[in-house]
């Protein structure tokens, strides 16, 4: 175990993980909860995200304004996010202000009052956020693809919820969900930077040690996937296309092959799709592939925004590249460049305290242990061209692909047939 990595488990099950970076002048801290949008019932869609917003709206000790002023007074950064599977409250400050950061984040997490007046005000903010997402087609088409693939499963819903669900939440609903979901065994506190583990645990332990277990959360149900093509007509300048095939889960041994397949296909500027669609043919400004990994499933996807008259051509080009990856192993240069791209991103990220803090939490939540960077690099290096070819053959199946199109789409065109022809 590296000497700069430390882990302490409090009596109630909360895990505290730190990484000492003595060369840094900052400390990044995150309070992570292994609960997200996929843990909501249908009528609760958006509730985890609503709780995240409300945590900054006042505690028994501080008003929302006082929270903002105290972070600003120390030059700190503080924010939060909700994903499908996790919620995180994080901050970054100079190493001389760690005590204040811990006090503020602890107060926010443990003492928020969820005042009914603040709930009503924040409801309006979130409703605007939902409308803003719907007005941002290059983001919204990803929401549509998830809905088309996973349907009524929680993974198919927007993290923000819907206007119909958000208007039903009140202070009691939020308090009950918070008590039910924020269980000690699901909480991981991580910090990275110029700090001492023992001192940090001493700061944290007294406040977080009082958190007690509640009712057991419902077990996550694996989703099934539907494969189809769905057109969403809307008066836009471009057709926004999101295509998806089955990927791998977060712990799948093939995850590094999947990452490399993504890099080769459309994960950077030298990738096949970027070069063919944008650079050689000038058919799109934005085109990229992406990977979404969850605890029990995954998605490998492609996004592109194109003029209406280029829609069919671009779909055929994407299908051609997928078929090529199924038939021909990537060459040695592509494989080497892909590996260097992944490793470079990993090594560059080690210089950032907030990225290191995030990596500590991700490894603890997913694997329950510290995963040394060298282990990840070795796993990447072990991937062969044959591994990528096999994964592409398993993944790029004609009857297992979905595509969602948003914009001036032609309702008479069978877009699925274009992909599988």
Report the CATH number that the domain containing residue 400 is assigned in CATH.
Answer: 3.30.830.10
Q: Which pair of structure tokens corresponds to residue 21?
A: 């970076």
Active-site pick, 40, 52, 118, 122: 52
DSSP bridge partners of 92 = 28, 77
**Cα–Cα dist 350/365, whole Å:** 19
The number of distinct structural domains making up the chain is: 2
Residue 136 lies in a domain: yes
Name the DSSP letter for residue 194. S
Check whether 129 has a pLDDT greater than 90. yes
Same domain, 103 and 204: yes
* Average pLDDT value for residue range 120-132: 97
Q: Reply yes or no on whether the pLDDT at 9 is more than 80.
A: yes
Answer whether residue 213 is part of any domain: no
Residues 202, 274 within the same domain: no
Distance CA 149, CA 349 (A): 32
pLDDT, tens only, 162-193: 999 999 999 999 999 999 999 999 999 999 99
Residues 236 and 187 reside in one and the same domain: no
Let me know if residue 339 belongs to a domain. Answer: yes
366 φ/ψ angles, rounded to the nearest 5 degrees: -85, -45
This prediction's pTM:
0.94
Catalytic residue flag (residue 52): yes
Sign (positive or negative) of CA dihedral 390, 396, 400, 402 = positive
Residues 11 and 42 in one domain: yes
**Spatial CA neighbour of 104 closest among 135, 144, 77, 139:** 77
The two tokens of residue 338 are 């892909």
Instruction: DSSP letter for 220, please.
Output: P
Which one, of 143, 247, 195, 136, lies nearest residue 360 by Cα? 195
- Verify that 188 and 238 share a domain, yes or no: no
Phi-psi region of 225 (alpha: psi -120 to 50; beta: other; left: phi over 0): beta
Provide CB contacts within 8 A for 384, sequence distance 6+. Answer: 335
Residue 75 is given by DSSP the state T
Rounded-to-integer distance, Cα 317 and Cα 32, Å = 41
Question: Is 87 domain-assigned?
Answer: yes
Confidence class of residue 217 from pLDDT cuts 50, 70 and 90? confident
pLDDT of residue 415: 80
Question: Does 185 share its domain with 234?
Answer: no
Q: Do 240 and 330 belong to one domain?
A: yes
Mean pLDDT of the chain: 95
d(CA 110, CA 47): 18
Which of 215, 220, 221 shows the shortest CA–CA distance to 181? 215
Spatial CA neighbour of 114 closest among 162, 159, 47: 47
* Tokens matching residue 239: 């057709």
Please check whether residue 217 lies inside any domain of the structure: no
Tell me the helices (H) and strands (E) count for the chain, helix number first: 16, 11
- Contact between residue 76 and residue 25 where contact means Cβ atoms under 8 Å apart: no
Residues 171 and 239 in one domain: no
Residue 421's pLDDT is 65
What's the whole-number mean pLDDT along residues 72-96?
96
Q: Are residues 159 and 241 in the same domain?
A: no
Q: Which residues, including other chains, have CB under 8 Å from residue 328's CB and lie 6 or more apart?
A: 389
The pLDDT tens digits of the residues spanning 10-26 come to 999 999 999 999 999 99
Are 106 and 57 contacting, i.e. CB atoms less than 8 angstroms apart? no
Q: Which residue range(s) make up the domain with 291?
A: 229-420
| 286 and 402 assigned to the same domain | yes
**Residues 59 and 200 occupy one common structural domain:** yes
Buried b (16+ CB within 10 A) or exposed e, 44-81: bbbbbbbbbbbbbbbbeebebeebeebbeebebebebe
Does residue 135 belong to any structural domain of this protein?
yes
> Is residue 110 assigned to a domain?
yes
Residue 86, domain member (yes or no) = yes
Asked if 83 and 293 count as a contact pair (C-beta separation under 8 A), the reply is no
Q: Are residues 153 and 277 in the same domain?
A: no
Q: What is the DSSP string of 252-296?
A: -TTHHHHHHHHIIIIISTTSHHIIIIIIIT--EEEEEEEEEE-SS
pLDDT score for 410: 81
With cut-offs at 50, 70 and 90, classify the pLDDT of residue 212: confident
pLDDT band at 1 (very low <50, low <70, confident <90, very high): low
CB 267 within 8 A of CB 288: yes
Residues 213-218: contacts with CB under 8 Å, at least 24 apart: 213/12, 213/13, 213/183, 213/184, 213/185, 214/179, 214/180, 214/183, 215/180, 216/183, 217/35, 217/39, 217/180, 217/181, 217/183, 217/186, 218/39
pLDDT digits (tens, 9 = 90+) for 377-416: 999 999 999 999 999 999 999 889 999 999 999 877 788 7
Flag whether pLDDT at 365 surpasses 70.
yes
SS3 state of residue 27: strand
pLDDT at 150 over 70: yes
């Amino acid at each position: 175990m590296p000497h700069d990595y430390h882990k302490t488990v409090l009596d109630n099950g909360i895990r505290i993980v730190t990484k000492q970076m003595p060369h840094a002048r900052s400390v990044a801290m995150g309070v992570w909860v292994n609960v997200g949008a996929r843990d909501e019932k249908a009528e609760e869609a958006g509730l985890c995200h609503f709780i995240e917003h409300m945590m900054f709206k006042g505690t028994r000790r501080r008003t929302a304004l006082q929270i903002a002023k105290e972070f600003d007074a120390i030059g700190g950064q503080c924010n939060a996010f909700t994903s499908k599977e996790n919620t995180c409250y994080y901050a970054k400050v100079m190493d001389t202000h760690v005590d204040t950061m811990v006090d503020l984040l602890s107060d926010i997490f443990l003492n928020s009052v969820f005042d009914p007046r603040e709930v009503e005000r924040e409801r309006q903010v979130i409703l605007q956020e939902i409308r803003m997402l719907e007005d941002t087609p290059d983001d919204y088409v990803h929401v549509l693809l998830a809905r088309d693939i996973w349907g009524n499963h929680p993974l198919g819903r927007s993290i923000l919820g819907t206007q119909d669900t958000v208007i039903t939440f009140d202070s009691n609903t939020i308090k009950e969900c918070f008590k039910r979901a924020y269980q000690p065994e699901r909480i991981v506190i991580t910090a990275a930077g110029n700090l001492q583990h023992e001192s940090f645990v001493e700061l944290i332990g007294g406040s977080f040690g009082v958190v007690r277990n509640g009712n057991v959360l419902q077990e996550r149900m694996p989703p099934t996937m539907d494969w189809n093509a769905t057109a969403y007509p809307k008066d836009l300048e471009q057709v926004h296309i999101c295509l998806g095939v089955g990927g791998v889960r977060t712990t799948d041994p093939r995850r590094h092959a999947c990452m490399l397949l993504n890099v080769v296909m459309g994960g950077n500027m030298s990738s096949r799709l970027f070069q063919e669609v944008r650079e050689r043919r000038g058919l799109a400004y934005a085109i990229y592939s992406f990977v979404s990994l969850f605890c029990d499933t995954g998605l490998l996807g492609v996004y592109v925004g194109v003029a209406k008259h280029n829609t069919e051509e671009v779909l055929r080009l994407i299908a051609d590249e997928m078929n090529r990856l199924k038939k021909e192993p990537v060459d040695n240069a592509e494989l080497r460049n892909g590996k260097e791209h992944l490793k470079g991103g990993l090594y560059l990220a080690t210089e950032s305290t907030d990225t290191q803090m995030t990596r500590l939490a991700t490894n603890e939540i997913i694997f329950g242990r510290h995963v040394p960077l060298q282990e990840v690099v070795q796993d990447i290096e072990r991937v062969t061209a044959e591994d990528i070819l096999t994964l592409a053959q398993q993944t790029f199946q004609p009857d297992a692909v979905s595509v969602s199109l948003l914009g001036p789409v032609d309702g008479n065109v069978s877009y699925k047939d274009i992909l599988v022809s």
